[in-house]
Amino acid sequence: MSAVLEDKQTELEGVGPAFTKEQMLAMRGKTRAAIHEIAAAVKSGMVEEDAVAMAKEILAAKDMVRGWHDVYVRFGTNTLKTFGAESDPGIVLGENDIFFIDIGPVWEDWEGDGGDSFVVGHDAMKKKCAADAKGLFHTVRHEWENSGKSGKALYEFAVEEAQVMGWELNMDLSGHRLSDFPHAAIYDGPLADVDFKPSPLLWVLEIHIRHPDGGYGAFFEDMLLDDSYFV
């Protein structure tokens, strides 16, 4: 790696004064537990807006200070929406349907971020979509762990792998920094733009796949960490 690229990586992987490995891992654990608690409370027949309000109540009960991004619970066709896009209003979760959760809570001085997809009922293709989003996340994560690929190269790899699996990868959700709050003061761009191999604990990998004919998609997001953290 050139000295210029090393300097760039040092700059973009900077952290704030409150950063510790232990606290970042603790926030990851709290984030993933909250995602699954929210998912367990989502039921067929709910309106998406009610699920979002419920998710915010669950996070508030866990003493979330703020969210560094909004709380997203996307139902059905809204699972096609990219980050920050307004959901179509009034979408009701069907009996055989898919939804995903994407949260970015801040507890004290530390950021969490994570997402996952869930299926209610017995739609085999929706179940495959949710499973493939998670599977592609781990395929790309293994490529990161076992190669020297840059963030940019990892997402080029992800696009190809998604196509092989029969899905389209949404590159508007292509990973980012995570740190003590606020990471945006250090770097607010996508992981898919960086020209170096990202370091563990400092980045999240986002996978948002969509059915090529529309209708629904799935999302999975977690930190870039080695296999020992996913047992």
The number of folded domains in the chain is 1
Q: How many CA atoms lie within 13 A of 83 on its CB side?
A: 22
What pLDDT, on the 0 to 100 scale, is given for residue 181?
86
Whether residue 105 is preceded by a cis peptide bond, meaning omega within 30 degrees of 0, is no
Q: What was the pLDDT predicted at 7?
A: 86
Taking the C-alpha atoms of residue 177 and residue 162, their distance in angstroms, rounded to an integer, is: 23
Q: What is the CATH number of the domain that holds 146?
A: 3.90.230.10
CB 218 within 8 A of CB 49: no
Round to whole Å and give the CA distance between 59 and 63: 7
pLDDT for 64: 76
| Residues facing residue 209 across a β-bridge | 169, 218
Q: Which residues contact 39 (CB under 8 A, 6 or more apart)?
A: 99, 101, 116, 118
Say if residues 71 and 103 touch (Cβ distance below 8 Å).
yes
pLDDT, position 25: 97
Residue with tokens 């984030």: 31
d(CA 110, CA 135): 28
**For the chain, which residues score pLDDT lower than 70?**
1, 66-68
Provide the pLDDT for residue 1. Answer: 63
The pLDDT of residue 226: 95
pLDDT computed for residue 67 by the predictor: 65
Range of the domain at 197: 3-230
Q: Kindly write down the DSSP assignment for every residue of 67-127, as one continuous string.
A: EEEEEEEEEGGGGGPPTTPPPPTTPBP-SSEEEEEEEEEEETTEE--EEEEEEES--HHHH
